[in-house]
Amino acid sequence: MNGKYLDWTRGEEEALLNIVGGTEVARAVLRGDKKLTVENIAPQQSVTPPPLVGTVVKTITLKPYNAKSVAEAIKLGKYDGVDGDIVQLFADDEVGLTTAQKVILVQFDRNWTNTEVLAWAKENGDKKPILPKHIYAIGAQHPEEQRKRSIAGCGSVRDGRVLYLGGYSVWRSLYRSSVSGDWDQDCVVGFLSE
C-alpha cells in the first residue's frame, strides 16, 4: 500500500469498511452524503461476584487404609469410569491413611471456581482441601456420597485439572476437570476437619 498509512493492512481496511456499513456507506461519507461520528467507548466494568458462602452439608470419617500405589487405591474404589492419566500423574503422591480422618463436605451458594474456593478456605479458618489419598478413601469407603453429588478435591490439582468423584445411581467415576472454569454449585468440596 502506498501513501500516508504504510502500516495499515488490507484486513484492517476490510474490517473498518464492515464496521461503517460497507463500501457504499464509506463512499457516501467521502461524497459528503453521510457523516460518521466517532466516540470513545467506556471500558466495560467487570462484575465482581458476591462473596462465596459455604455450608457444611456432611461430615464423614475416613478409616485407615493401605494401598501400595495409586492404581491399587483406585482399584479399592471399584469405579465404573476412571480418567486414564490419573495413575501416572499422581504416581508420586502418598496413598493410604495411617489414622482415621474426618472430612467435611462443603456446598457453596453459587457456581464457583477453584481459586474462589481456596480463598474461601483460607478466610474461613485456613481449611485444608482434601488430597488425592482422601478422594480415594471417600470413593472406596463412602461410595454412596458420590452418587448424591460430585465431590471435588481442590488439593489435587495437576496440569490445571482437579480430581473429583462423580456419579449417579448406577455409575461412579473418578475423573479430572479444569480448575479454570466454573463448577456447579451442586458439587461439594472436601476439606479436612479440625
For residues 29 and 187, the model is more confident at 187
Q: Is residue 124 a part of any domain in this protein?
A: yes
Q: Is 172 in the same domain as 113? A: yes
Q: Does one domain contain both 184 and 111? A: yes
pTM of the model: 0.75
Compute φ and ψ for 24, nearest 5 degrees: -65, -40
pLDDT for 127 equals 96
Shared domain check, 72 and 39:
no
Domain that includes residue 17, residue range: 9-43
- Quote the number of domains for the chain: 2
Q: Please tell me the predicted confidence (pLDDT) of residue 166.
A: 93
Residue 3 lies in a domain: no
Tell me the pLDDT tens digit for each residue of 124-167: 999 999 999 999 999 999 999 999 999 999 999 988 899 999 99
Backbone angles phi, psi at 20, to 5 degrees: -80, -5
